[in-house]
Amino acid sequence: MRRSIAMGMTALSAVLMAGMGSMAGAQQGSAPAGQTSAAEDPLFTQPYIDIDEWRDAPVRHRYVHGGFKGTETRFSFYFPDKAHYQDRFFQHITPVPDDENLAQKLTQGEENYIGFSIASGGYYVETNGGGRDQVGMPGKPNDFTIAAYRANAASARYSRVVAQQMYGGKRPYGYAFGGSGGGFRTVGSIENTTGVWDGVVPYVLGSPMAPPNMFSVRMRAMRVLNDKFPQILDAVEPGGSGDPYAGLTPQQASVLREVTAMGFPTPSWFGWKTMGIHGFAALYGGMVMADAGYFTDFWTKPGYLGHDDPRSFDGYRLQHDATVAAPISAAQAADLKLDTRITDGAANVDNAFAALQGRAAQRIVAFRLSSPPPKTYFVGGDLIVGSGSAQGKRLTINRIAGDVVILGVVDDAVVDLLKAGDKVRVDNSNFLAAETYHWHQVPPADAGYPVWDQFRGADGKPLYPQRPFLLGPLFTAATTGKPMGQPPMTGQFQGKMILVENLWDREAMPWQGDWYRQRVIAAQGAGADQNFRIWFTDHALHGDSSKQEDPTRTVSYLGVLEQALRDLSAWVEKGVAPPANTAYRIDNGQVIVPADAAARGGIQPIASVTANGAAKAVVKPGAAVTFRATVSVPPGTGRIVSAEWDFDGSGAFAEKAKLPGGSGSSLTLTTRHSFAAPGTYFPALRIASERRGDAATPYARIQNLGRVRVVVQ
């Protein structure tokens, strides 16, 4: 699961790379446009099983592996013994067609989806999404509906056949869940089918305008504000001034206002050194294919920043001519200790993209040049080939290390053509141009995207020249499986849905959850609350990993996701309505939630911490600081089962708080701690709640944090 979410939006770009024509025309073997029923798909009529055996790890289960003849679709089913089965299944939908055996590689704690499913009375389903060839790999036929939902739907249908052969009884209920690109596919799955899934939990979901705009806006901020982030963060940390604009130049303040109004959560800039450009690395190729003219217009036409204010790029634009000295394989890169990861802070993103490209140890991943490019701020660029068999081709550069350029997401067939002595240019002009692409992608005023209003004049018209089409909906239409010309996400579905979004998400800006909620309300009217919930998780990022980038600042949201699946099943099967929506408002692109747990709603507990009675304490070395925490859970959503302190910033949370007996849904904790060395510290309290108060289970433990500042001087 961690690996698949890291691949983010790769599937969105791949369809465009395969050629826009395949999206507009009829596809061989395609299901009819619009909703399809639970009846058999004509492409998936011959299922087979090639492995059927009982296994003991990670828990006792029957493993069934197979596929469908005539297709590349593969599936894995994980069935519990009859005593643990309660007539349901849970199915994970990955962001891009992936490995149908991911669950066997993620078997620890809350990432153990086989164990979670069995503990929740169900069997677990996963697929390869139809095979990686279904997302537009070069030279392969492309039917985007297979990857979007049909392969997963066919596998879900057949799993019921196997389940009823094993257990007898009634039709199993089915629930799907997927995040990021998998969130698009999960929404597309339930909007395009009837009777396959009874409910879904999409998470960290973007809007149709997300790619590539949520990345372009942050790329500009990363460059312009690069050396200002420490002071910006200090202002929004506990005990800070609260004014992140203090000390910025007018240009810097303008850029920060722009990215904030587009929805980037300001506290999430803590990862500015490591978060990279995330999904843009994968989207870039499709962007160039779909709108190549933009990258020329940017530097040559009025209305584009590159033409109107080229000096704003002084010291940043890189156009370095050299020749290829030698290719470097993946094995050689490892020996040289070159960092070949795609520019991103997410766990295992290097493995994810390497798998997508089919690279092995002998594959070329970098080139040594005849001379090193000048040192400058660099998050990506192109290696433009000027001679030889690859003349005129471009290869994406992920990073530069001296005289070595390390490749990003590229076509290996082009890489193989490049030889020692070939002339090349290292050029980041396109990546700089991409920074303001969102200026030229203003959607219609009635489309529900108020974050773009900052790019309209008083007359309501866009301030800047607009491109011939909106690129984001083209990407997302392919991933959701909708025909060209139809809305990628309509909010119309049969079944029930709980949408999980995160307040610190810097890839799927949080307001986009509300965008989809408004589509549901528009489509379903007064009945929307009977079928839909949205829960926001505070202090949570985009990636679905239990291992956090900074555990003193952020928490895993997997517990929320797991509880959402359990609540979804109770809603569908027993009519037990889940907890209410998180209460929120949207102010200038930011999702604002109440500070009180009862007022906020949703299912996440809240911890409010003080140091010597305030958000900031100033003390001398060795002086004891009194920490007090008020911890509460939204009514009816569980009990606090753990609380642990981290005082040194290590993320170890070594001091476990003793919870009062029968702690229930609210409690107060106090402790004292002293700091020997001068400095600024940010002590943190991490809490977890569980619906039944079970402190031993690894599943559905819902976390949150409280933090304060202590200055020792």
What element of type H or E holds 446? none
Please say whether the beta carbons of 552 and 707 come within 8 A: yes
pLDDT at 338: 86
Q: What is the DSSP string of 152-202?
A: HHHHHHHHHHHHHHHH-SSPPEEEEEEETHHHHHHHHHHHHBSSS-SEEEE
**How long is the chain?**
713
> Sign of dihedral through CA atoms 48, 51, 53, 55?
negative
* pLDDT of amino acid 132: 74
Give pLDDT, residue 410: 85
Judge whether residue 7 has pLDDT over 50.
Answer: no
Mean pLDDT of the chain, nearest integer: 90
Give the whole-angstrom CA distance, residue 287 versus residue 396.
13
Encode pLDDT of 655-701 as tens digits. Answer: 999 998 755 788 999 999 999 999 999 999 999 999 999 999 999 99
DSSP letter (8 states) at residue 701: P
Residue type for position 678: P
Backbone angles phi, psi at 384, to 5 degrees: -95, 125
Element (H, E) at 109: none
pLDDT tens digits, residue range 80-91? 999 999 999 999
Q: How many CB atoms neighbour CB 386 within 10 A? A: 15
Rounded average pLDDT over 192-212: 97
User: Does the pLDDT value for residue 702 go beyond 90?
Assistant: yes
Name the residue among 567, 560, 446, 455 with its Cα closest to residue 503: 560
DSSP per-residue string spanning 610-646 = EETTBSEEEE-TT-EEEEEEEEE--TTS-EEEEEEEE
Instruction: Give the whole-angstrom CA distance, residue 211 versus residue 13.
Output: 9
| Cα–Cα distance for residue pair 501/341, rounded to 1 Å | 27
34 falls in which pLDDT band (50, 70, 90)? very low
pLDDT at residue 37, as a whole number:
61
Which residues of the chain form CATH 2.60.40.650? 597-712
CATH class of the domain whose range is 597-712: mainly beta
**pLDDT tens-digit readout, 610-663:** 999 999 999 999 999 999 999 999 999 999 999 999 999 999 999 999 998 755
Query: CA 387, CA 370: separation in Å to the nearest integer?
Result: 15
At residue 165, does pLDDT exceed 90?
yes
In the chain, which residues fall in CATH 3.40.50.1820?
49-174
Higher pLDDT: 33 or 322? It is 322
pLDDT at 353 over 70: no
For residue 262, pLDDT beyond 50: yes
Please give the share of the chain, as a percent, with pLDDT higher than 90: 81
d(CA 688, CA 670): 17
- How confident is the model over 343-370, as a mean pLDDT? 60
63, burial (CB in 10 Å: exposed 0-12, middle 13-18, buried 19+): middle
With a cut of 50, say whether residue 302 has pLDDT above it.
yes
**Higher confidence at residue 361 or residue 655?**
655
Cβ neighbour number for residue 264 with a 10 Å cutoff? 23
CA angle 534, 540, 544 (to 5 degrees): 90
Answer with the residue of higher pLDDT: 32 or 504: 504
Any idea which of 162-176, 345-359, 506-520 has the lowest mean pLDDT?
A: 345-359
Mean pLDDT, residues 246-253: 97
pLDDT at 30 over 50: no
Residues 521, 497: Cα–Cα separation, whole Å: 13
Contact present, 177 and 91 (Cβ < 8 Å): yes
11 has pLDDT over 90:
no
Question: Nearest Cα to 607, choosing from 624, 590, 627, 582?
Answer: 627
Residue 225 has pLDDT above 80, yes or no: yes
**Residue 223 contacts residue 316 (beta carbons within 8 Å):** yes
DSSP letter for 101, please. Answer: T
Which residue is listed with tokens 């942050």?
218
283 Rama sector, left if φ>0, alpha if ψ -120 to 50, beta otherwise = alpha
pLDDT the model gives residue 395: 95
Q: What is the reported pLDDT for 291?
A: 97
Q: What is the DSSP string of 315-377?
A: TT--EEEEEEEEEEEHHHHHHTT-----SB-STTHHHHHHHHHT--TTSEEEEEESSPPPP--
As a whole number, mean pLDDT of residues 59-86 equals 97
Query: Pairing between strand 88-92 and 532-537?
Result: unpaired
Of the two residues 526 and 613, the one the predictor is more confident about is 613
**Higher local confidence (pLDDT), 139 or 243:** 243
Closest Cα to residue 80, out of 112, 106, 56, 51?
56
Our CA angle for 577, 114, 553, nearest 5°, is: 70
Retrieve residue 533's tokens: 């919930």
Rg (CA), the chain: 26
Sequence-ordered list of residues with C-beta below 8 angstroms from that of 446, at least 6 positions apart, any chain: none
Q: What does the alpha-carbon distance between residue 680 and residue 350 come to, in Å, rounded to a whole number?
A: 34
How many angstroms separate the CA atoms of 303 and 464, rounded? Answer: 6
Give the residue from 425, 461, 452 showing the smallest Cα distance to 207: 452
pLDDT band per the 50, 70, 90 thresholds, residue 345: very low
Beta bridge partners of 607: 631
Distance CA 702, CA 641 (A): 10
Does 350 have pLDDT greater than 80?
no
| Closest residue by Cα to residue 628 from 681, 682, 671, 684 | 671
For residue 253, pLDDT over 50 is answered with: yes
Residue 106: pLDDT band with limits 50, 70, 90: confident
Q: Which two tokens stand for residue 187?
A: 């929404």
Rounded distance, CA 555 to CA 565, Å? 19
Nearest alpha carbon to residue 317 among 339, 301, 295: 295
Give the span between the Cα atoms of 90 and 116, in whole angstroms: 9
Residue 87 tokens read as: 């007539």
Which residue blocks in 19-150 are alpha helix, DSSP H? 21-24, 113-119, 144-145
Give which of 55, 35, 163, 139 is closest to 104, Cα–Cα.
Answer: 55
What does the DSSP assignment read for 119-159? HTTEEEEEE-TT-GGGG--TTS---HHIIIIIHHHHHHHHH
Contact 475, 283 (CB under 8 A): yes
Q: Mean pLDDT across the stretch 577-594?
A: 98
Q: Residue with structure tokens 């080139």?
A: 367
Is pLDDT of 17 > 50? no
> pLDDT value at position 346?
42
Q: Is the pLDDT of residue 509 over 70?
A: yes
The listed CATH number (3.10.180.10, 3.40.50.1820, 3.10.20.30, 3.30.497.10) that belongs to domain 49-174: 3.40.50.1820
pLDDT bracket for residue 340 (50, 70, 90): confident
CA distance 608 to 703: 13
Tens digits of per-residue pLDDT, 442-486? 999 999 999 999 999 999 999 999 999 999 999 999 899 998 788
According to DSSP, the residues that pair with 74 across neighbouring strands are: 67
Closest Cα partner for 307 from 467, 169, 411, 429? 429
| Structural tokens at position 21 | 């024509």
Task: Tally Cβ neighbours within 10 Å of residue 38.
Answer: 16
Which pLDDT belongs to residue 344? 53
Residue 500's pLDDT is 98
Distance CA 148, CA 186 (A): 8
User: Residue 566: which H helix or E strand, with range?
Assistant: helix 558-574
The Cβ of residue 107 has, within 10 Å, a number of other Cβ atoms equal to: 14
CB 75 within 8 A of CB 65: yes
pLDDT tens column, 135-159: 544 444 567 899 999 999 999 999 9
Q: Are 578 and 567 in contact (CB under 8 A)?
A: yes
Whether pLDDT at 13 is above 70: no
- Look at residue 665 in the predicted model and tell me its pLDDT: 81
Residue 401 to residues 381, 416, 648, Cα–Cα distance (Å): 13, 21, 33
CB–CB of 12/286 below 8 Å? yes
Please tell me the predicted confidence (pLDDT) of residue 634.
97
Query: What secondary structure does DSSP assign to 384-403, as a single string?
Result: EE-SSTTTT-EEEEEEEETT
Let me know: does 568 contact 199? Beta carbons within 8 Å: yes
Q: Percent of the chain beyond pLDDT 70?
A: 90
